[in-house]
Structure 1
Amino acid sequence: MENYTSIDDFHLLPYFLHSKDKSIIFLALLLTYIFGLVWNCLIIIVIYMDPRLHVPLYLFLSNLSLVDICYIMVTIPKLLHMLVTRNISVSRSLCLTQLGFFILVASTEIALLTSMAFDRYVAICKPLHYHCIMNRRRCLLILVLSWVSAAVNATLITSITSITPWSSLRTIHHFFCDLKALAKISSNGLGFQLVLYIESLIIGVLAFAIILMSYVKIFKIVLLITFSDGQRKAFSTCSSHLMVLFMFYGVGVCVYIRPLTQNTEELDQIFSLFYILVTPTLNPLIYSLSNKEVHGALLKIMTRCTRKSSVAF
């Protein structure tokens, strides 16, 4: 069958599409993709199966793993398909759908990371009132608000993008329909860039300010603790979250805060690939390896499965 390309189609152009090492790149992406999906699914299963982990922090963590799964599935399958078939065209509707889902999961992750920072603040600074403040009903309300507000934000940005006039050049120098990459082919690039910066300012910077204030108060309390074991325990409860924050915001700043210049496409794609594949793959590893409770629950379930399989044979 022949491939027909509509005049409304966009053309994705990853910088490594015509690389001589395309098969190696495909294999590396595929293995990382599978590993990220499996490990995030495992975290969700472990938290669901272990009653000791049915607390606010791990409720947020299981949702974070769900978001990371969505991150990977929204973008990577299309990239793998392009590497195999070299079909770089994507319809306008599919491009907007991909953009919408990407903004949805990105906005939800920002809300979840902010909620987890607040949870750590309450646990360390107000330990006697923790179960009253972070009760199950309130946690579920926070999760619902996180997803709903992210959906509203994604709908708003996608709607603005859908009515944006495009230039005659429909080639997107990226491996998915990213907002910054779309801004470069917009006829109203300056206005689109303004939307991008307002989006980053309201969503990212405001959330980061809340996180920063939470950790400033946490560190003040921790420094007042006189015994070293107490300080060590307090820092250990925050270390995983801090590592995820540094990766998420560090790469996010590199991708979206830098100006729209023509000589940064390759760098944007490298940072974006780290942002949507490597970071979601590393997140569950960070939480499972440095968190004793998750680590213990994971070992317990693996031991139980091993015993069942040995009995079956």
Structure 2
Amino acid sequence: MQQYPPIPAVGDEAAPEFAGHLWLLEAVEGSILRFQLRESGAIRFGGQQRVYRADDAVPRPCRRAIRHVRERLDRAALRRAVDDVGSHTFVGWATHRERIDYDWERLPPFLGVDVYGAEDAFRPPDATETIFDRLGLDPANAIERERHSRDFDPGSYRIPESAWYDGPAAGVVIRDKRAGRAQLENSEILTQSKSSIASENADSLAAAVATDRRFERVATRLRERGQAPTVDELRDRVLEDVYREEHGRLFGGDRAIDESAFRTAVARRAQRFLGG
């Protein structure tokens, strides 16, 4: 699986000199997530450089995104489109909270950013958007398409409003057709302090984040897929949502979470939600 180079900040030595027409993509908080479809139909996942050999190696805030890709990826469409599915690496953001409280019911768990093809090159941004659409996955939000580089000045560019919550975007990724990329970060977001809800008491922490609303959302998703909610399914999926939507608040403080006790407390709440 192709490694994904870090996106340099605008002004860094590694940042390219852009030419031609640019695409401006909204940057969201999250982690780089790569995946590759194997001939067997299984999906191989990895982070920026590391490949995850087992599900328990996946970072907590990325687990919801991995489930989303497994459930949404149109494997048949990918096999129809390319002769060798293993020659393509797909890259995106596993969206999760650090400082920004997005509208989590609208923001997809995974947003596609790049596709590395069989010709040993990243596809241009217009092709990348089309590919993710056809595979059943959401591409990153394009703020502007085909803006000529001579008309773009990063120094005077104003970060726009986000498509995913009522506030400014975390940044903008600038792309050209030659695989050049750089990120313009929102300095105001970066300087915001992280709030914390970490607690030494697993039961009180579960009560704060494993709410009836979250259980109902998960139960609805299961029913829509023809699955009956069970305690184990509710526990696992609510934990995925919690680790995604509350990551910055759960793990941004000084206190460590007893994850085994927390998992048990969430399971008890799942049992009560089901009336058990």
TM range (shorter): under 0.3
* Structure with the larger helix share: 1
* Structure with larger RCO (C-alpha < 8 A, sep 6+): 1
Instruction: Return the TM-score normalized by structure 1.
Output: 0.24
Structure (1 or 2) with the larger CA radius of gyration:
1
* Structure with the larger strand share: 2
